Structure 1
Amino acid sequence: MLNAAPPRPAEIRFFPDYRDFNPYQALLYRSLGPTVVASPLANFEALTSEAGTENATKILHLHWETAAISNGGFSPEAFLDTLSQFRNGGGRIVWTMHNLLPHTARERAVAEQIRGGLLTLVDIVHLHSLPALAAAMQHHALPLNKVRIIPHGNYDGIYPAILRDKARAVLDLDAARTVVLLPGQIRAYKAPSALIDAFLETAGPDDRLILAGYRVSDVADLSLPDDPRIIASFGFLTNEDLSQVYAAADIVALPYTDSLTSGSAILAQTLGRGVLGSDTAGLRDVVTTPATGVLYDQDAPDGLADALQAALNEGPETWAARGKEALQAVRARDWAMIGPTWRALFEELSHMHQHARVSTP
């Protein structure tokens, strides 16, 4: 008796491809195993140009939804029309809502134009947590039958482990008491100016604040005081560079104005650091107060300054203990457990019957 051929892997495309500067997509798709094959959709126009061919895309995983418009030259109408053609040709769409709204004014305006249509067109709206779902429901009429919650995994194995003393020696921080870090892209929604002001108000002579990451245009006019306690390293950081500043830090500060998902908080925990941040959905998902960090009410008049003052008063030993708790907590975000949930979702979509034709509002 002849053996049956093994089932063909489910094939998906993802857009945009941000793997060069964000490990999230690589970790997600690597976790799927051999029964699901993911590849980037380099050109958004190709989504419908393959229609009717054997190699046609059947499942699209859409991430940062404004990319085709901001970077690819599509109008909002053309973007939604392309998705509508793809879906009416038998395609399925999973949309991961990474942000409550994009971080720049231009992209926010685009998102407000297209999100209503997206919610009609997509088969699945993916969010990373229940706090994210609650926040998104306050801003959008989410069709709950389409919602799936799958956690954001950790960054284990991506960033090298560096000892605190070694990192401080390299960065000339041997004499520092408590080091506070604002990591990643330096953007307006991370409130760098407010953090600097709070630090100047509360820090002692041996405390340090590091701002480390690429400075985006919306904070191009960020004013840095002439104070040796504040250290700015603006520019692209390699994985080793990031590991080094995290290792040197006692506290990772994330004073977001809003956050639906925080990769920076998950990275902080992966590298054994506690988080001081605003009480937003993205941080509520990650930080357990007071075990792994502290969240403050950003609507309180002196919320950030009061929280930072208390954190600095607690000192490095208390925050080292939080870092150890954070490292234990983040192990629950193992991609070996998260991957099968994604695999089941993609396999379910690949076997769906063709749905009714849809049009955007």
Structure 2
Amino acid sequence: MAKDNQTESEELIEVFKKLEPRLNKVYVGATLKNAIVMQNNRYIRLLYQDFSAYQLPVEFLIRDNFHEVIWRRMKGEKSIVHHHWLQFDNNYSLKPLAKVFLGLFIFRMLGGTIVWTLHNKLPHDNPYPQTNTRVRKWFAKISTHLHVHCTQAREEMSQFLKVSQNKFFVVKHPNYPVTTQSQEESWTKIRQRYADHFDNEVWHQPGTTYLMFGQIKPYKGIAEVVDLFLAHSESNKRLLVVGRIKDEAYVDKVRDKVSDAANVILIPQFIADEDTPLFYGISEYVIFNYTSILTSGGAIEALNYRKKIIAPRKGCLTDLVGENIIHFDTLSELKNILFS
């Protein structure tokens, strides 16, 4: 349990020092993600933001320098390896995965502490579910501790991975620092910067704006939400789908649906950080329709913007409570929430 005014980063430091009392370094890794990508990830930056203030160095791992971690451990360094995203993509990932597993196995045999943060149950882009399931169960066994962001995730992943709940600890997802803007100011800037998308008169009349923001992928259930809005085009409720393309075929599917729609706008592109507050600023609600989810950074961000969120009762979303949280279990329930 976090103390008052304690950041999630400080809480993680406290946990790590209990796991390794003489801790003097933390190594951060993620299978098939290089150190530069890791350091530029917003979640990662927030999670380790306080470590330097506590004189606790953080070093980002790449596959080729794991032998150095083992060598330093043999020389007496007291360190923790903190691993994040884990995924088997194809046969080309077998060799790098094997190197990581071998390095971690040796590190563990030398008495090292391995913490694995579970961001999702299985990879969202997962053509090999059985292999990824086996890989994750093995990784859970070799890890000394498993980090999740909520109690619901601990219960769910304990059953899925077949490991005791005693192996888990909970440190919540960090909050994102945000800069809010008024709705009027946001609309003015949006209409200037994205004029081509907002030329329909529907978007210049009073109404309620719902937002789906972030990478456009099938597991987010965007197409199904689009269908709901298309079936209620006569209402004064409109949907805005904004985010970077991660699946061309899926984006084409959504684009075909909304090509003649007045009440749904699709903006499939990277959104600069300075424009992100504008899309939240013009929206009253943010919708999440994940087919599967464990932890949602998007929901945390929406709440940080003080938006009402509509989300499925899945994973850590289940643990979210408050006047800004509206849960649903089925698409029919979501329809009733939106249009009843």
How far apart, in 2, do the equivalents of 1:131 and 1:176 lie?
A: 39
Q: Is the 8 A contact 1:61 1:94 kept in 2?
A: yes
Of the three residues 218, 240, 249, the one matched with 1:210 is 240
Unaligned runs of 5+ in 2: 1-20, 192-202
1:80-99 superposed matches below 5 A = 80-99=101-120
**What do the CA deviations read for 1:1-39 (whole angstroms, capped 9, x no partner)?**
xxxxxx987211111354566311111101333232212
How far apart, in 2, do the equivalents of 1:84 and 1:110 lie?
A: 19
1:168-183 superposed matches below 5 A = 168-172=187-191, 173-183=203-213
1:1-361 superposed matches below 5 A = 10-16=24-30, 17=35, 18-19=37-38, 22-32=41-51, 33-41=53-61, 43-53=62-72, 58-66=79-87, 74=95, 76-106=97-127, 108-156=129-177, 159-172=178-191, 173-217=203-247, 219-224=250-255, 225=258, 226-288=260-322, 291-298=323-330, 302-310=332-340
How far apart, in 2, do the equivalents of 1:55 and 1:220 lie?
A: 52
How far apart, in 1, do the equivalents of 2:337 and 2:159 lie?
A: 27
Q: Is the 8 A contact 1:58 1:91 kept in 2?
A: yes
Q: How many residues align?
A: 297
Aligned to 1:334: none
TM-score by length of 2: 0.78
How far apart, in 2, do the equivalents of 1:72 and 1:287 lie?
A: 39
> How far did 1:65 drift?
1.5
> How far did 1:140 drift?
2.1
Aligned to 2:11: none
Q: Secondary structure at the match of 1:13?
A: strand
Q: Secondary structure at the match of 1:66?
A: coil
Identity %: 24
**What do the CA deviations read for 1:68-97 (whole angstroms, capped 9, x no partner)?**
989966354444223212222332210000
Q: Which amino acid aligns with 1:239?
A: D
Q: Is the 8 A contact 1:47 1:57 kept in 2?
A: no
How far apart, in 2, do the equivalents of 1:190 and 1:70 lie?
A: 27
- Identify the structure with bigger relative contact order (alpha carbons < 8 Å, sequence gap 6+): 1
Q: Is the 8 A contact 2:89 2:128 kept in 1?
A: no
TM-score by length of 1: 0.74
Closer, same or farther: CA 110–195 of 1 in aligned 2, 3 Å: same
Q: Which amino acid aligns with 1:265?
A: A
RMSD: 2.7
**What do the CA deviations read for 1:102-123 (whole angstroms, capped 9, x no partner)?**
1012364542131121111111
